[in-house]
Structure 1
Amino acid sequence: MAFSVDEINRNAHLLPGVRLGYQILDNCRYPWSLRAAMSMISGGNHSCKSTGPVRVIIGDASSTQTIMLSRILSPLQVPMISYQASCACLSNRQEFPNVFRTIPSDVYQARTMAHLAEHYGWTWVGAVVVNNDYGLLAVQAFRERAQGSGICLAFFETFTRETLAQDIQRIATTVQESSARVVLVFAWYTDAGALLLELARRNVTGRQFLASEAWSTSSYLLNNPAMRTIANGVLGVAIRSAPIPGLENHLRRLHPSHHPRDALLRDLWREEFGCEPFSLSGSESASLPLCSGAESLQGVQSTFTDTTHLRVTYNVYLAVYAVAHAFHSLLACGPVEDSAMNRSQQQCSSNYNISAAEVLQHLGQVNFTTQIGENFFFQGGDIPAVYDLVNWQASPDGVLTYSTVGRVEGFKLHMEESAIWWATGSKTVPVSVCSEPCPPGTRKATRKGEPICCFDCLPCADGEISNKTDSLTCDRCPLEFWSNDEKDKCVPLPVEFLSFTDAMGITLTTVAVSGAVMTAAVAVVFVYNRHTPIVKANNSELSFMLLMSLKLCFLCSLLFMGQPTHWSCRIQQAAFGISFVLCISCILVKTIVVLAVFRSARPGSDSMMKWFGPGQQRGSVLLFTCVQVIICAVWLSVRPPQPHRNTGLKGSKVILECTLGSVEGFATLLGYIGLLAAICCLLAFLARKLPDNFNEAKFITFSMLIFCAVWIAFVPAYVSSPGKYAIAVEIFAILSSSFGLLLCIFAPKCFIILIQPHKNTKKFLMGKSEKT
């Protein structure tokens, strides 16, 4: 402070023509602080000559004493500028309108610690604080900043000076038993030292301490050998350091002979040089010799002359300059033109009757640039938050030192990650979590009655994923997608349809083509033997029409295979319905012909075949078939089948299929086929005992029984089969019923034609008939 005032008084541009005076009194505890403050503002007991009382108090260093002094001095509007009172409560301008400070509020260092915890993923943090405004408000600020960041306090322990020994034992046990590996400590350096020593005595290691500015740069702790095992790796928030140009030279020039009444300087001389600086009545030390006077601080390396890390010292420097700039503005100092000298001079107003209210007003408006180029101003009563981040590291000789590893400016954190040594003894960032992070594919589930940082990781359900760490929920996959085995991404579902290339498709295709070839072969046999009696006796025209329809039935099954399209879905059911009706119509007409021929063989019945000749037979087949064509036309025009992507089997596949469109239309199509088959079966059953040369009715009966059995079994099998298997069931029904008709009706005839040609004569057939 003395250096700053002297420097300002020598400055021709700051307060020109005005000299600042100062009075330094010991604060000690509250009563002495109050007495010193009252002495200052009353104008008594000060060493300088001035025209009025001291108007600004630089201090107090303690937050508690600053609060108490402010409550007394605030009604008098006496400005106070503290260089170390960091309590967040002092930012309240309603309560403390006369308090300014050159140290940031504790709120910012607490937020910085929360920012560090968030930055390094420490979600499980313990807190040890002194039980006063300094500690309690800091933890409150930490909690507010940590809220929403997933950071929890594993424990929160407080202590008081009066019961420090007992409290330290309790706190050490808590730290030792807790799973938290990061502990923030808001305490005075002596209290923090007591806790660290107790933990060292218990051999508690691996704890990463976050230090408040009150002990993060304490040389008292750093120089204690017992701290090396427990305090190595401490990461602390420190008051920012800055150089003061000229201060080191000023300190090294100091000599007791120049300041004979400076007791502190005499004590320094005794400690540093081991001699008494000079003899004052009653002050000589009996054990120390007198100094020669040649002693000097020029070559001395001590904490007194070390100006490499000026922290609180720089805050005092700023406080004095803030006062000077406030007075400079208040006294309207500025350049004045001197006509005699023909030049401008710096000059201040000669009105020194300054009120306290004016000083307060101008202090709040201070804005200047320091000698190192920084812009200084007050925000309310505070300054913008700037901190250094320091890291305690063991030097090669085992001595603890601290190194600056980062800087905090407002809410911006600048870290030199590679320069940090952690409590683990390495550069690996320690882990402090209640529960390990939930990997992708899981979600967080909080435990009942425990903090949100303690949770279980539950795997996502089928069809849901989480693709980031610590996800709170699992997201459902879009349509036609499903979760993979790890549940961390959605993958497209496999597309399934009855393909020509898979095993089932190849089998059905082979059977269908074989059936068509067999039908074609039977047709060739019949064409080649069309003039033989057995072909003529079984109505060769209807037989050829039946073979053609059977071939269509075999081939229409191929329309059900392959990827469904708009047109294939419409054609397949229509082709199936019309082909089978054509087939059943031919068989029905053949059955009616058999009955008509039998009736015509009776006396007086010659007219029956006249009314049911070849033209009527073809017309009947056409009529029966046209009914099915009309049914299909109405169905396809009203609600036709459409291709559909079926995702009903979740997690399995996307099934490409054809919807029926109208279930009523499909039921009508099957019902009509069933009706014709039932009528045909009934008529064939009635004609089963006709003469042998007309015994085709027996085979028609068998074929119809097989046909009806197949399609009756088809309905429940089709409804219960999933996906492409439903299509396979329908194809199987088509092929099996077609083979039943082909074999039952045409196999006996082909056997006679090819194996027993001697029976394929008119004489044999007539002879058999006569025997019957």
Structure 2
Amino acid sequence: MAVFMVLLLALFLCQACQAYVVKCTIQYPHRPLHMYRQSGDYIIGGILSHGTFFSSSESFNEEPPPPLPEELLVVPKGYQHFLALAFAVKEINENPQLLPNHTLGFHIYDSYDNAKKTYHATMLLLSALGFFSPNYLCYIQNNLAAVIGGLDSEISLHVATILHIYKIPQLTYGPAPLMNDKIHGLSFYQMAPQERYQFAGILSLLLHFRWIWIGVIVMDNDNGEQFVQTVLPLFSRSGICFAFLERIAKLSFASESYNNIQKGAKMHDKVMGSTANIVMVYGESYSMAFLRWLPYLSELEDKTMNVKGKVWIITAQTEFTSLVFQRNWDSGMFHGTISFRIHFNDLPVFHQYVESRNPSSIEDGFIKDFWQQAFDCVFPNSIIGNVEGNICTGEEKLESLPGAFFEKSMTGHSYSIYSAVYAVAHALNMMSSARLRRIVYGERLKNQKRQFWQLHHFLISVSYNSTAGDEISFNQNGEVISGLDVINWIISPNQSFHRVRVGRMNPQAPPDQALTIDEDAITWHSWFNQAHPISVCTQSCQPGSSKKVKEGEPFCCYDCIPCPEGKISNQEDMNDCYKCADEDYPSKNRDLCIPKDISFLSYEEPLGINLAFFALSFAFITALILGTFLKHHDTPIVKANNRNLTYTLLVSLLLCFLCVLLFIGQPEKVTCPLRQTAFGIIFSVAVSCVLAKTVTVVVAFMATKPGSRMRKWVGKRLANTIVLSCSLVQAGICTLWLATSPPFPDVDMHSVTEEIIVECNEGSVTMFYSVLGYMGFLAFISFTVAFLARKLPDSFNESKFITFSMLVFCSVWLSFVPTYLSTKGKYMVAVEIFSILVSSAGLLLCIFSPKYYIIVFRPELNNREQLIRRK
């Protein structure tokens, strides 16, 4: 619509225009467009930014008010953009190998960051010099080859809407415009770093330094909204949280500045009051001029908060600039800023070119305004009346300007313009060479001077090495293929400004190697005392704890809770604790897994050694008693109560002590089945012998009564029957156990936290307790019979001793069951061994110690007379 209205205005005023010829000149009723021009065979148009911004309230339907000082917001640093284009053209024209027999010229207009001015300037580029005659050839032919511009995406879009009609290439040195369905199909050659690479670089930078809690400031426009909708979610999926999201308003009239000041004050307080130490800025070229307001807009009473440092991360589009009235403002808050910039090597020759600038240049329509704004002076011949303020002499030195005002070193934007001019020159050279070849081969060309739409074909295939040593080429989308430099801003107390390259972003490298950073080269804000800044919502959860997200808060804000029993976390900020492998167990602090010790009752530890010693000692005592009894086998005390039962009982007790050795040592496939079965059968034989002895005594005394039928049971046959029958029952139980579910070696990972228990799995627990139950049944019968026969008169009556021994036996095994069930690992085995030793020792000592005492120490009592007398 804007283009259509401009065309109507031109046609209405130029009623005398004929096709290809215009004989009228339009006078502009408002501020004229500045121009910087140089003639040549080929003209490059420049819609650049001098850093002068008009109010956004201007419209095509209203005449703007007379110019007032507060209408313009001047950024002198933008003047370098014009110098970069002029310098590139100068180098090309002085190079005989590039565009031979042709000269390159340029017409540069300031966009004023204004749609109306931009459309007007674009139409002027398409018209004859000095005439506003769109779509007409006025006086001479204007060989416009390409247009470079603009700095901001909206300006580039305004230019493209007109150039697209004429198929003239446009090379932008700012970010790509945001396209939609209504403006689809516009083509651009982008000289600026690709934003997707910048975003990937910023994300890699944040993750490298583990900055997961950041603030974000964006422009309040379509590009800023697209950034919020598409890029920030990608950051979130990578673990980045956002403490705040603020939007920068577009620069406007002073009449609207009060609202902007209020918004800026709130923004400053939110930024400086936030716990996030990192602030990412996605803005336009002039955003820095707005950010420099922030320290002066605080609504907080405590102004000491202004000294709090932040690490600012800024995209390549935003340069370190100042408005004219910000000349002496402190910029210390941006010291240590990290920004991105298109990769290039410095051009020392450009320094000399900049230093040679003089305000007396006639063709440069910008230099006087720049000079007056930069040096805060006026030229006497540029005003009427008395001069107020400093007089410009033209001898002022550019090196005296602060870095925020002007830099002699080429900036990223200027290098993009410089590269764009060279790209057009190489494309024109290729196109001229192609035409020359076609003429040589006899082809005729019509209107060859006007067919610059053919330049697109050559531009997309341009590839050359710049004078700075960088390779310049485009991909199939018209985007320059280039890496990015990571720049550290150094702002001294005297407000001098320096850039230090501290890293590189190489889009062609693998994603995990694309960003390289030299941490030691980075200078942080003084608030951090040159320590690595940390930016987290919550201090890291240490190993041994896990994160618990706070309800209603971003996922970076969480509480730290200790790991539950049996789980660990061995890294910071783990989302959950996890269990150790079965072979490991958690440490006391629950921050690492410790390998478990393999545990079994071995001969190498004191407990195993002591138990083995006692087992062997009692076995030796048993063998000694057995030997003594065998030696005195013809004595009355040995013959009393069935001598064979005595020997069988002693042998079974000896085996009971020795079977303890099966329980000590690492469980094996052979020892595990033998342990319980051997113990059960041997003990059953021992208890059966005790039962047989007791029954023999009872039957013998009952048989002495007149007419007793018990006499036929007196003798060895009854005792042997009792021992064999009782032992065979236990042997049958053990055989069934071994046949169905025998014991086997096993490991227990979980019963004891710090140990892997190597044990004998009983196989069938029912069979195990059946063996113990049967043995207990025999012991109970023996104890009952012995208790009833304890008062029978007999010099060598064993009933009293058997009663006491069985009392000990039953007590031991009754206490064994709960104790066995309440212990784990090798101590379960130790409890069973202890029960075997104590119960066996009880039988041995209670039954045989009195007899052994008489045989060895009182042999005079070991005779028949003593036996008969006692009876």
**How far has the Cα of 1:176 moved from its partner?**
2.7
Q: Distance in 2 between matches of 1:78 and 1:137?
A: 28
Could you tell me which runs of 5 or more consecutive residues in structure 2 were left unpaired when the two chains were aligned: 1-84, 133-137
Cα distance in structure 2, aligned partners of 1:275 and 1:678: 121
Matched residue SS, 1:117: helix
Tell me by how many angstroms 1:11 deviates.
Answer: 4.4
The answer (yes or no) to whether the contact 1:276–1:285 under 8 Å persists in 2 is no
1:634 deviates by 3.8
Secondary structure of the corresponding residue to residue 176 of structure 1: helix
In structure 2, how many angstroms separate the alpha carbons of the residues matched to 1:34 and 1:337? 37
Which has the larger displacement, 478-487 or 95-104? Answer: 95-104
2:668 aligns with 565
**3-state DSSP of counterpart to 1:478:** coil
The amino acid across from 2:864 in the alignment is K
Which residue pairs with 2:108 in the alignment?
24
The aligned runs of 1:229-628 (5 Å cut-off) are 229-240=332-343, 242-243=345-346, 247=350, 260=362, 262-264=364-366, 307-333=408-434, 352=448, 354-355=450-451, 357-379=453-475, 380-395=477-492, 399-410=496-507, 412-424=514-526, 426-500=529-603, 502=605, 504-598=607-701, 601-602=704-705, 608=711, 613-614=715-716, 621-622=723-724, 624-628=726-730
CA distance in 2, matches of 1:252, 1:687: 130
Tell whether 2:178 aligns with 1:65.
Answer: no
Q: Distance in 2 between matches of 1:159 and 1:395?
A: 27
Tell me the distance in 2 between the aligned counterparts of 1:186 and 1:3.
30
> Could you tell me how far apart the structure 1 residues matched to 2:651 and 2:241 are?
83
Matches of 1:305 and 1:748 in 2, distance apart?
117
> Can you list the C-alpha shifts for 1:97-136, whole angstroms capped at 9, x where unaligned?
2332322244444443333222222111112233124544
Question: In the alignment, which residue of structure 1 is the partner of 2:264?
Answer: 168
- Distance in 2 between residues matched to 1:700 and 1:459, nearest whole Å: 60
Pick one of 173, 186, 208 that aligns with 1:97: 186
Q: Deviations over 1:145-179 (max 9, x none)?
A: 42333211111112323432111111111123211
Which residue pairs with 1:727 in the alignment?
Answer: 829
CA contact (8 A) 1:17 1:348 kept: no
| 1:714 aligned residue | 816
Structure-2 change in CA distance of 1:202 and 1:442 (3 Å)? closer
Q: Name the CA shift for 1:42/1:716 in 2 (closer, same or farther; >3 Å).
A: same
Q: For residue 81 of structure 2, what is the aligned residue in structure 1?
A: none
Post-superposition offset of 1:311:
3.4
Distance 1:244 1:209 in 2: 27
Partners of 1:180 and 1:433 within 8 A in 2: yes
Cα distance 1:582–1:352, how it changes in 2: closer, same or farther (>3 A)?
A: same
CA contact (8 A) 1:129 1:185 kept: yes
| Counterpart-to-counterpart distance in 1, 2:495 and 2:847 | 107
Deviation sequence 1:28-50 (CA, Å, 0-9, x none)? 33222212212322446379985
Which AA in structure 2 matches 1:438? C
Shift in Å at residue 434 of structure 1?
A: 0.6
Shift of 1:486: 2.9
TM-score normalised per structure 1: 0.84
TM-score (norm 2): 0.75
Whether the aligned pair in 1 keeps the contact of 2:351 and 2:409 (CA below 8 Å) is no
Aligned with 1:159 (options 240, 245, 248): 248
Name the amino acid aligned to 1:71.
Answer: T
> 543-552 vs 354-363, which deviates more?
354-363
Of 35, 41, 44, which residue of structure 1 is paired with 2:120?
35
The one of 764, 768, 771 equivalent to 1:669 is 771
Name the structure 2 match of 1:659. 761
Q: 1:91 to 1:233 in 2, by over 3 A?
A: farther
Residue number in structure 1 paired with 2:845: 743
Change (3 A) 1:578 1:158: same
Structure-2 change in CA distance of 1:170 and 1:667 (3 Å): closer
The alpha-carbon distance between structure 1 residues 135 and 239, as it changes in their structure 2 partners (threshold 3 A), is farther
Deviations 1:300-326 (A, max 9, x none): 857799753243333222222222333
**Given that residues 192 and 215 in structure 1 are in contact (C-alpha distance below 8 angstroms), is that contact kept between their aligned partners in structure 2?**
no
1:445 aligned counterpart, secondary structure: strand
Q: Paired residues, what number?
A: 753
- Which secondary structure state, in structure 2, belongs to the residue aligned with residue 482 of structure 1? strand
Of 102, 110, 114, the residue aligned with 2:203 is 114
* 3-state SS of paired residue (2:487): strand
**Which letter maps to 1:418?**
D
Distance 1:34 1:635, change over 3 A: same
> Bigger shift: 433-442 or 360-369?
360-369
- Classify 1:753/1:662 alpha carbon distance in 2 versus 1 (closer, same or farther; 3 Å): same
How far apart in 2 are the matches of 1:216 and 1:550?
99
- Cα distance in 2 for partners of 1:749, 1:269 equals 130
CA distance, structure 1, for counterparts of residue 692 and residue 437 of structure 2: 132
The alpha-carbon deviation at position 423 of structure 1 amounts to 0.9
Matches within 5 A, 1:137-152: 137-140=226-229, 142-152=231-241
> Kindly, what percent of the aligned residue pairs are identical?
35
1:137, CA displacement in angstroms? 3.9
CA distance in 1 between counterparts of 2:848 and 2:324 reads 110
Q: Distance in 1 between matches of 2:661 and 2:838?
A: 14
Is contact 2:278-2:312 (8 Å) kept? yes
Q: Is the 8 A contact 2:602 2:665 kept in 1?
A: yes
Q: SS of the counterpart of 1:444?
A: strand
Whether 2:184 is the aligned partner of 1:184: answer no
Shift of 1:376: 1.8
Alpha-carbon offset, residue 3 of structure 1? 4.2
- Asked if 1 retains the 8 angstrom alpha-carbon contact of 2:193 and 2:341, the reply is no
Q: Is 2:296 the counterpart of 1:194?
A: no
Q: For the residues of structure 1 that align with 2:120 and 2:270, how far apart are their CA atoms? A: 42
Q: Post-superposition shift, 1:383? A: 1.8
Q: Secondary structure at the match of 2:247?
A: strand
Asked whether 1:130 is paired with 2:219, we answer yes
> Would the aligned equivalents of 1:185 and 1:192 in 2 still touch at CA under 8 Å?
no
Task: Kindly provide the amino acid, as one letter, of the partner of residue 589 in structure 2.
Answer: E
Residue identity matched to 1:177: G
Letter in 2 for 1:352: Q
- Among 132, 153, 170, which residue is 1:80 paired with? 170
Computed over aligned residues only, the root mean square deviation of the Cα atoms, in angstroms, reads 4.3
Q: Which residue of 2 aligns with 1:341?
A: none
1:765 aligns with 2:867: yes
Task: Please say if residues 364 and 378 of structure 1, whose CA atoms lie closer than 8 Å, have aligned partners that are also in contact.
Answer: yes
Other-structure match for 2:88 = 4
**Letter of the aligned partner of 1:431 in structure 2?**
I
| Kept in 2: contact 1:591–1:697 (CA 8 A) | yes
Deviation at 1:565, TM superposition (A): 2.1
